[in-house]
Amino acid sequence: MQLKPSFRLTIILLLFGLTYLAIHLSQAVRDVPILKPLSQFPTQIGEWKVVSSKTLSQPTIDMLGVNDYIEYNYASGNGTVVNLYVSYFSSIGVTGGYHSPRNCLPGGGWGIAELSTVRLQPQSAPSSIINSMIIQNGADRQITLYWFQNRGRIIYSEYWDKIYTVLDALFKQRRDGSFIRIMAPTREENIRETEELVKKFAEDVMVTLQDYLPGKEI
| 145-179 pLDDT, tens digit each | 999 998 889 999 888 888 888 888 888 888 889 99
Domain chopping of the chain, boundaries = 31-210
Which of the two residues, 41 and 96, has the higher pLDDT score? 41
**Predicted pLDDT at 95:** 55
**Predicted pLDDT at 94:** 60
CA distance 198 to 202: 6
CA distance 25 to 218: 22
CA distance 98 to 178: 8
CB atoms within 10 A of CB 36: 12
**Predicted pLDDT at 17:** 67
Q: Tell me: the pLDDT tens digits for 87-113?
A: 999 887 765 567 777 776 666 678 888
Q: Tell me: the pLDDT tens digits for 11-35?
A: 767 766 666 665 555 556 778 889 9
The SS3 call for residue 117 is: strand
Q: Tell me: the pLDDT tens digits for 178-207?
A: 999 999 998 888 888 899 999 999 999 999
Do 95 and 65 meet the contact criterion of CB atoms below 8 Å apart? yes
Q: Return the minimum-mean-pLDDT range out of 64-73, 89-98, 106-115, 135-144.
A: 89-98
**Predicted pLDDT at 55:** 92
Q: Is the pTM value of this prediction over 0.75?
A: yes
Beta bridge partners of 181: 85, 146
Which residues in 72-104 are b (16+ Cβ under 10 Å) and which e?
bbbebeeebebbbbbbbbbbbbebbbbeebeee
Q: Return the minimum-mean-pLDDT range out of 13-27, 128-142, 201-215.
A: 13-27
CB atoms within 10 A of CB 190: 14
**Predicted pLDDT at 1:** 47
The SS3 call for residue 10 is: helix
